[in-house]
Chains A and B, each alone.
Chain A
Amino acid sequence: MTSHGLPRWADVGLLPLINILAAVIVSGVLIWVIGENPFEAMAVMFNGAFVYSGGFGYTLYYTTNFIFTGLAVAVAFHAAMFNIGGEGQAYIGGLGAGLAVLMADSFLPGFLLIPFAVAFAALFGAAWAFIPGYLQATRGSHIVITTIMFNFIAASVMVGLLSGPMMREGQGSPETRIFEPNGHMPYMHEMLGWIGIEVARSPLNLSLVIALAAAVLVWFIIWRTRFGYAARTFGHSPGAAEYAGINTTWLIIAVLALSGALAGMMASNAVLGEPHKIVVNFTSGYGFTGIAVALMGRNHPVGIILASLLFGALFQGGTELDFEFQTITRETVQVVQGLIILFSGALAYMFAPMLARILFMITPEREPA
């Protein structure tokens, strides 16, 4: 039994589904209110995300972003820290990846350049999270506020760089030049083509594999290493961590840096994978979506992968809405995202008492408490 009176399977499995269902129902009502058929909209989105040629590739492309940012949020959550700065860390991670490629794509071959660039992305993301982590650990500045502020600072830095020193020559728009091909993350359709499997062209690239590997790695770190043990101890009880002799200053900084590194690695997909240059605002809120993903996935890598897939499908399906409907657009997906954060996050246990009563009624005999 959990503290909310639910058996564990219902708490982990059923309740999240009910919360998502609530979000979907409210979204459906909204679509109906503005005069469209919610089931039609759903069909269009499903079609766009899974059926139409290349659609699934796009879905997985978005999924990749969300796995990175979702893991970033989850790692920090395990140590009871709310890293709301994934957006900024991913943005600065993009700077790292971009700088690496812009510096070295004239002479480094791809198999060296790509790992180098991904490492730079992680390093820059980690560095951007390091500062709030350091300030929290040593000066007690609240991580939520500082990471919010760092999102805005990152945005200013990037606009300044992209419209200044890093701007592509002879161009008016704030973006870098396009990378040389050895700085491109290999496309999935190309790689599958090498081994004889034909799939439709899509921006899906090797980053998905990196993301999945990161998920496995995070699972091991959190549940099988001393570092993960220390992080979870601190997350549940800072007093116990202090009692156990865990160096909490170092731990806070290390967890935040790991979180930032994961967020920064999103750039391996959203910069190196496609569009092969840094553009202003390439993070497009994916860092914030990571919060929804972590909440929905209950901070577990498997849950995060599933939630990322759902959000990937929503984002890709959402772009189809623009084409098919007059009045509903991809922003509808953002509404769904907001509702999921609301129901799976802030109102996570709203349905718990009701569900507990229903389960109690339909379970004939219960062992005495």
Chain B
Amino acid sequence: MKCFLLILLTIQLMPLQAKTVKKTQRNPIIYKAIKNYNNQNYFTALDELARHYKYKTPPKKVQKLLRMLVLKTGTYYFNTYNDLELRKLKIPTTDLIMAKRNLYLKKFKYVHKRLNTIPVSNRLFPEALLVKATAYHFDKKYKKAVKVFNMCATEAEKRKDVEDKKLKNYFSVIQESCIINIARLYFKQGEFEKAIRHYEDVPKTSIQWPYILLEKAWSYYYLGNYNRSLGLLITYRSPLLESYFMPEAEVLKALNYYQLCLYPDALNIIDRFYKEYKPKSEALKKVLTSQGEDLYFYKLMFRPIVETEKEHRFLRNLITQVNRRVKYSLDLKSLYSINTEIFHDHKDANMEKLLSSQRDIKEQINHYVKVSMYKFINQTHKLSKDMFNLKLEVLAKQRDLVYKRETLDTKRARGSSKNVQRKSYQEQWDFNNAFWADELGDYSFALESACNVDKKRRRR
């Protein structure tokens, strides 16, 4: 009986399948796209299909083909499409692009509407969850945000077991971003202990780990654990993290010393910022603004390290930072795919489109690198104002001490291990002027606060 029913169903479906195939074969655009896909002319095929289905929903089969093509080309192709052109395509890539655009515009309702269409089985699902949870966070729905961030971390971890190194890296970044965002959410709510616990879940081997050191240091700062905050920030002085220069870390260092009433130390950090980093940032600005060469920043990424280091040390450090970002590697992957197609030089390939796409993606990389570098310069400039304010505050405190005929205790010990706050699982080792990789990020200072002795020692 069962067998009979199955045969009957197959017979009934057969004409429908044949009809779909016929329709596809009849449509020359789809036929040509499939042919181009088989001939590895992925960009040509994507361009033909995307242009044809700009304002209309493609059939399921074409949607599947588009998904397969995007896997080969990357999503960059759709960056220039507006929402009206994208909304009918109804493929996860375009839905994700639109959801992100709505997130930046704070139109949260549309973010969810777009993301709900992305299936669990899709490769972009963890990224969609990241965007969804971020939307909840900005919408102040914190409980939902934590739940979705956790889901995102789990889904990304499930997909990490892939051979492709870049894909593996991509899922690792998604997983870590979701964990970090939970920490950031708790930080925003003032739950710094919880935030620290989540920051600690990010492995030290992660490419995002150097960046979260600063965020963790802020959490300790607000908890009043200035020694631990300083310890975290000193990690940036290790040779392994030389490329990660964070101007904000210098301000936080000075703030920590200020809170401990160690005014000469705070002034020392502030002076070093002005003498060392600010001129370097200005020199870097000069180097960058003096370049009139076409695609200068794009070309900079491919120059030998020795050459860029000679030009400016910070330049090399910034290049290293940009090099490690997912966006850069995905854009580069797309560029290599285009180059392969150009080199392949198939007779059906749309060479004009390929060359313009190649130029387009180079310009995108050039712009991205340029923005990253200028962001660094602008940040240094902005923070120098904060440093100036802090300097005035430190000087005011010192002046008040003189006017009140008070003095800080100079005879006290500089530090003692009793000033180190430790958790039960934390061990204590002495620092002997060597940064061991496994110790990075676990340092703590042992400075004694000078604030408590202010009023006791009146001069007679």
Are both chains from one complex?
no
